[in-house]
């Protein structure tokens, strides 16, 4: 396959996943296909009884409720050895109840639920991929899924105007999008902490989510550049939330880059360690109930940290940097950059005093995530 045809194929696959994400967020069904099976899926968070009935009618089979192993553990459902657990939808489980089962903020309001019947064997790979698709859409990681015969996929999609997406494209989406990042705009933006700053915007070729790079001064590309990877945090960066140290880290990094006379800050579109703003607010509510930041994410069904660092590595390469002195307390950022071809010559400590609202948050990052705090 020529490079041009390969590029067109990759962009087509990216667009298919992006369109599937958009439909899932709108409460529409999507078909996920594998090598020898397919599933008709619906986001549990966006599911209502009429959509659930349509799912069953289109498939001709009984749907199941799929949740992550993290979420199943919270609901006291025994593990199966898989990362996704399927539950039989009992007569008493209507759409509102299943939406509540997917959302941990309701756990203390409805503490006695069940019993649940889990399906122990034969997890279709398309169902696990569907959970990943929900995560990519910043939805709760739970779907309603019904099997769809492969020979009925095309006709079902055509009859009901449904998007079809392959599980391989879903699983490769984040890496493919990172590799397709291109610079789309740049402008000088003087900052309080560093007047000589230039913003660079990067966007995947399919038109996906943008990431930003703030280059301070004109760093020497032949020397390790002082750099900071900063995941966006609306609450901390913009409005001064005291529940985290993100705002202080952002402003402190820019100040350090200004004092250094040059460097780069990568502002990554990975709110809430990759779970999105709405789910971060859900996690905050769980923290108010007494759970720490990691337990809160896992009670919602997510991993402790859903971020990837390939976009940061690709942006550095596009800017001409191959080596960094990385401002971070997170060893996973160091490993993440090096895994994708960026040499980290030094980890530069980057921490700030705690306050009464974020003491537990910072202690949890140190104790459970191995941060150098």
C-beta separation of 267 from 306 below 8 A: no
C-beta separation of 75 from 118 below 8 A: no
What is the SS3 assignment for 146?
strand
**Cα dihedral 72, 74, 78, 80 sign:** positive
CA–CA separation, 160 vs 78, rounded Å? 37
Task: Pick the closest to residue 206 from 18, 26, 30 (CA basis).
Answer: 18
- CA 283, distance to chain mean position in Å, is 14
User: In which order are the strands placed within the sheet that holds 84-88?
Assistant: 118-119, 84-88, 64-68, 142-147, 38-43, 30-33, 163-166
The neighbour count for residue 215, using CB atoms within 10 Å, is 24
What is the SS3 assignment for 278?
helix
Question: Cα torsion at 240, 241, 246, 249 (round to 10°)?
Answer: 40
Where in the sequence numbering do the catalytic residues fall?
A: 305, 307
- φ/ψ of 357, rounded to 5, equals -90, -25
Query: Which residues make Cβ contacts (< 8 Å) with residue 210, sequence separation at least 6?
Result: 184, 201, 202, 203, 269
C-beta separation of 364 from 245 below 8 A: no
For the CA atoms of the chain, what is the radius of gyration?
A: 22
Task: Pick the closest to residue 170 from 60, 64, 38, 338 (CA basis).
Answer: 38
- Kindly state the tokens that stand for 208: 């996906």
- Kindly state the tokens that stand for 317: 């390469």
CA–CA separation, 368 vs 373, rounded Å? 12
């Amino acid at each position: 396959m020529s490079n041009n045809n390969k590029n067109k194929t990759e962009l087509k696959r990216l667009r298919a996943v992006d369109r599937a994400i958009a439909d899932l967020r709108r409460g529409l069904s999507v078909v996920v296909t594998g090598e020898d099976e397919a599933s008709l899926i619906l986001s549990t968070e966006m599911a209502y009884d009429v959509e659930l009935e349509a799912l069953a009618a289109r498939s001709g089979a009984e749907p199941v409720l799929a949740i992550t192993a993290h979420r199943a553990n919270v609901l006291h459902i025994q593990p199966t050895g898989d990362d996704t657990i399927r539950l039989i939808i009992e007569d008493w489980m209507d759409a509102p109840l299943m939406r509540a089962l997917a959302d941990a903020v309701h756990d203390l309001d409805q503490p006695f639920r069940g019993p649940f019947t889990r399906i122990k064997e034969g997890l279709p790979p398309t169902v696990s991929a569907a959970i990943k698709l929900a995560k990519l859409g910043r939805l709760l990681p739970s779907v309603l899924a019904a099997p769809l015969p492969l020979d009925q996929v095309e006709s079902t999609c055509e009859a009901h105007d449904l998007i079809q997406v392959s599980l391989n494209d879903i699983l490769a989406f984040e890496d493919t999008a990172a590799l397709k990042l291109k610079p789309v705009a740049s402008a000088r933006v003087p900052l309080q902490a560093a007047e000589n700053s230039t913003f660079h915007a990067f966007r995947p070729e399919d038109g996906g989510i943008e990431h930003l790079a703030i280059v301070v001064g004109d760093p020497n590309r032949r020397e390790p550049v002082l750099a900071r990877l900063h995941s966006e945090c609306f609450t901390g960066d913009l409005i001064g939330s005291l529940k985290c140290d993100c705002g202080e880290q952002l402003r402190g990094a820019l100040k350090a880059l200004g004092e250094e006379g040059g460097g780069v800050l990568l502002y990554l579109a990975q709110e809430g360690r990759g779970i999105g703003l709405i789910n971060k607010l859900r996690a905050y509510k769980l923290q108010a109930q007494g759970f720490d930041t990691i337990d809160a994410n896992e009670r919602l069904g997510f991993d402790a940290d859903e971020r990837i660092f390939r976009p940061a590595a690709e942006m550095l390469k596009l800017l001409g940097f191959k080596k960094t002195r990385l401002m971070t307390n997170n060893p996973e950022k160091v490993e993440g950059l090096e895994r994708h071809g960026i040499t980290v010559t030094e980890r530069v400590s980057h921490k700030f005093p705690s306050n009464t609202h974020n003491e537990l948050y910072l202690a949890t990052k140190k104790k459970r995530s191995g941060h150098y705090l």
